[in-house]
C-alpha cells in the first residue's frame, strides 16, 4: 500500500497538500481542506522527526504550489521574466514556504504524546502557531488559513469571537480527530468526534445570531468605480489625459447622487502634489455635492514615496500604506537586486512604509478604516485599525494576478474581516472583485471581473466592537504557543 513506504507517504502528502486549496475560494469544496489536514496527520503517524521533516516539506510544497502559484502571473506577465526563470522563481517561493510545514511536522513528531486527546490538541496548536508565523516572518504572507474555509457555514459564527486563527484551531482539532478515528476506529472515538462536531456547529450557529455591533446611522449611498484599466496603460504617461478625464467625468456623474465615491488603488497616475488644480476640482465637486471622493494614488514627503488613499470633499485626509508587498512595492536587498531583471524593477516599487497609528479617513458617511490591497489579509492589523471606525474600506488592483484564483482568495479574506469585526466593508478594485460586504461577511452586491462599471449601493455605518476586535488573536496565540511548550516540558521530564 502507498502508506507502507516513505516515498508513498511523501507522494500522499504532496497530493494532500495540493487538495487543501480546493476548500478555499473560488472552489469552496470545504470538506476537502479538512480531508487534506486529516490525511497529513495520518501520514505523519509513526514517523521519526527526520521522516516527518520530509513529509511536511512535501505537504507544504503541494499546499503552496496549488494555493499560491498564481504569483507566477506577476513574475512572468508583468515582471517580464522569461518562462523558465518565472517557473524557477515561483518554485523557489513555494518550496521556501514549504519549509515551515517541514518544521511543523518535525516538531509534531518530536513531541508526539501517547494520549489521543493531547495529540489532537498538539496538532491544532502547532497548525495555528505556524499560520501565525506566516503573518510576520520575512514581512509576512498570511495566506491560505484553514479558518477561511468556515466562511458561509455555521462555524463562521465563531469568527467575531476568536478570529480566523481561532477558527483554524477549531478546524484543525476536527481534522486531527478525524485522523485519530481513521487510525483507531473505536466506538468511543466515533462518539466523541460526533459530539464535538455537533457542539461546534450548534455553538457556531448560536454565536452567529449575536449582534456585537449596531447601526450608527441611516443607510448611505456609495458609488464604486471599477475602471478595468490595463496595468501597462496606467504606467503610460501618454494615457494620463484620457484616464484623468475619465475619472473626472465619473466624479461629476456620481458625486451628486452618492454620499461616497470610491476609486481603486493607484487610480490617479500622479503624485498628489503634482496636480493641485485637478485635486482642487475634485474637492469642489465633493463639497458642492456633499459627497466624499476616495481614491488611491501615490503621495510623497521629501524623499519618501507612499502608496496612499486620499479622501477629498468637505475635508481632505490621507492614509499611507503600512504593509508593503515585497518586490511589488519595495525591493529587499535593493542594492543587489534592483535592475537584475525587470521583475526587480517594477514601476512604483520604491514605496516607504506608512507610520503606525494613522487616524481613520473622515467622510460624509462616517469614519472609514482604510486598507490598501494586501493589508486586508492581516487579521489583527485590520482589527486594531478599525476600532474607532464605522465602516471598513479597502481598495486594490488585482490585475497583477490575471484570471487566476489569487483575486478570489483575496476577496474571501476581505469578506472575513467584515465578519470578524461585524462592520460593513466597501471594496473597490481596478478589475474586480468590486463589492459591498455586509457585517456578517455576506455579499450585498458585486461587479463581475474584467468589466468597466460602477457599483451603486447602500451601506450602514456601525458602532461597537466584537470580542475579536477587542482582544485580537492574543488568547488563541497564547494557547497555541504555550500548549506545545507544556507538552515539550512534559516529554523531557518523562525521558529524564
Q: Which residues are catalytic?
A: 265, 321, 373
Q: In b/e form, how buried is each residue of 379-411, taking b as 16+ CB within 10 angstroms?
A: bbbbbebbeebbbbbbbbbbbbbbebbbbbbbb
Q: Give me 265's grid cell.
A: 488603488
Annotate 28-41 with b (16+ C-beta within 10 A) or e (fewer).
bebebbbbbbbbbb
Residue reference for cell 529587499: 332
Question: Alpha carbon 458 to chain centroid distance?
Answer: 24
Beta strands in 75-174 (DSSP E): none
Q: Cα(48)–Cα(53) distance, rounded to whole angstroms?
A: 9
Distance CA 384, CA 369 (A): 10
DSSP state of 74: I
C-alpha cell at 87: 517557473
Q: Confirm if 255 and 293 have CB atoms less than 8 A apart.
A: yes
Half-sphere exposure of 73 (CA within 13 A, CB side): 14
Measuring CA to CA, which residue among 172, 184, 199 is closest to residue 20? 172
Q: Grid coordinates in use for 253?
A: 456623474
DSSP secondary structure of 361-401:
BP-TTS-EEEEEGGGGG-HHHHHHHHTT-SEEEEEE-GGGG
Give the Å distances, CA to CA, from 16 to 10, 28, 72, 103, 256.
Answer: 10, 16, 22, 17, 53
Q: How far apart are CA 203 and CA 318, in angstroms?
A: 41
Give burial (CB, 10 Å; 0-12/13-18/19+) of 233.
Answer: middle
- Report d(CA 94, CA 71) in Å as an integer: 10
Query: Which of these, 288, 292, 241, 289, lies nearest to 268 by C-alpha position?
Result: 241
Closest residue by Cα to residue 165 from 194, 132, 195: 132
The whole-angstrom separation of Cα 310 and Cα 23 is 36
Amino acid at each position: 500500500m502507498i502508506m507502507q513506504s516513505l516515498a508513498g507517504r511523501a507522494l500522499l502528502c504532496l497530493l494532500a497538500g495540493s487538495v487543501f486549496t480546493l476548500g478555499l475560494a473560488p472552489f469552496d469544496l470545504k470538506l476537502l481542506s479538512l480531508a487534506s489536514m486529516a490525511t497529513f496527520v495520518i501520514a505523519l503517524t509513526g514517523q521519526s522527526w527526520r521522516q516527518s521533516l520530509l513529509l511536511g516539506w512535501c505537504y507544504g510544497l503541494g499546499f503552496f504550489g496549488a494555493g499560491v502559484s498564481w504569483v507566477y502571473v506577476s513574475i512572468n506577465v508583468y515582471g517580464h521574466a522569461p518562462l523558465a526563470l518565472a517557473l524557477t522563481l515561483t518554485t523557489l517561493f513555494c518550496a521556501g514556504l514549504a519549509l515551515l510545514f517541514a518544521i511543523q511536522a518535525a516538531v509534531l513528531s518530536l513531541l508526539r504524546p501517547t494520549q489521543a486527546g493531547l495529540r489532537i490538541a498538539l496538532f491544532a496548536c502547532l497548525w495555528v502557531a505556524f499560520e501565525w508565523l506566516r503573518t510576520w516572518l520575512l514581512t509576512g504572507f498570511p495566506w491560505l488559513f484553514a479558518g477561511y474555509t468556515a466562511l458561509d457555514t455555521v462555524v463562521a459564527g465563531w469568527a467575531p469571537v476568536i478570529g480566523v486563527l481561532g477558527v483554524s484551531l477549531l478546524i484543525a482539532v476536527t481534522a486531527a480527530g478525524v485522523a485519530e478515528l481513521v487510525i483507531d476506529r473505536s466506538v468511543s472515538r466515533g462518539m466523541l468526534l460526533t459530539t464535538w462536531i455537533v457542539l461546534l456547529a450548534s455553538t457556531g450557529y448560536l454565536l452567529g445570531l449575536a449582534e456585537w455591533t449596531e447601526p450608527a446611522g441611516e443607510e448611505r449611498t456609495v458609488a464604486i468605480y471599477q475602471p478595468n484599466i490595463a496595468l501597462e496603460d496606467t504606467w503610460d504617461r501618454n494615457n494620463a489625459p484620457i484616464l484623468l478625464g475619465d475619472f473626472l467625468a465619473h466624479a461629476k456623474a456620481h458625486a451628486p447622487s452618492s454620499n461616497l465615491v470610491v476609486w481603486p488603488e493607484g487610480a490617479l497616475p500622479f503624485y498628489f502634489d503634482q496636480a493641485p488644480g485637478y485635486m482642487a476640482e475634485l474637492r469642489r465637486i465633493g463639497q458642492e455635492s456633499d459627497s466624499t471622493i476616495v481614491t488611491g494614488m501615490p503621495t510623497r514627503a521629501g524623499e519618501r514615496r507612499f502608496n496612499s488613499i486620499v479622501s477629498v470633499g468637505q475635508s481632505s485626509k490621507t492614509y499611507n500604506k503600512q504593509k508593503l508587498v515585497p518586490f511589488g512595492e519595495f525591493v529587499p536587498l535593493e542594492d543587489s537586486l534592483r535592475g537584475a531583471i525587470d521583475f526587480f524593477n517594477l514601476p512604483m516599487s520604491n514605496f516607504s512604509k506608512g507610520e503606525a497609528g494613522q487616524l481613520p479617513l473622515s467622510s460624509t458617511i462616517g469614519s472609514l478604516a482604510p486598507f490598501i490591497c494586501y493589508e486586508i489579509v492581516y487579521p489583527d492589523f485590520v482589527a486594531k485599525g478599525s476600532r474607532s471606525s464605522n465602516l471598513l474600506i479597502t481598495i486594490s488592483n488585482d490585475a497583477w494576478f490575471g484570471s487566476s484564483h489569487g483575486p478570489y482568495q483575496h476577496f474571501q479574506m476581505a469578506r472575513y474581516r467584515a465578519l470578524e469585526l461585524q462592520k460593513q466593508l466597501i471594496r473597490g478594485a481596478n478589475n474586480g472583485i468590486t463589492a459591498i460586504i455586509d457585517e456578517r461577511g455576506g455579499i450585498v452586491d458585486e461587479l463581475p471581473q474584467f468589466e468597466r462599471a460602477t457599483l451603486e449601493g447602500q451601506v450602514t455605518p456601525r458602532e461597537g466592537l466584537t470580542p475579536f476586535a477587542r482582544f485580537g488573536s492574543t488568547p488563541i496565540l497564547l494557547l497555541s504557543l504555550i500548549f506545545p511548550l507544556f507538552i515539550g516540558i512534559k516529554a523531557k521530564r518523562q525521558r529524564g
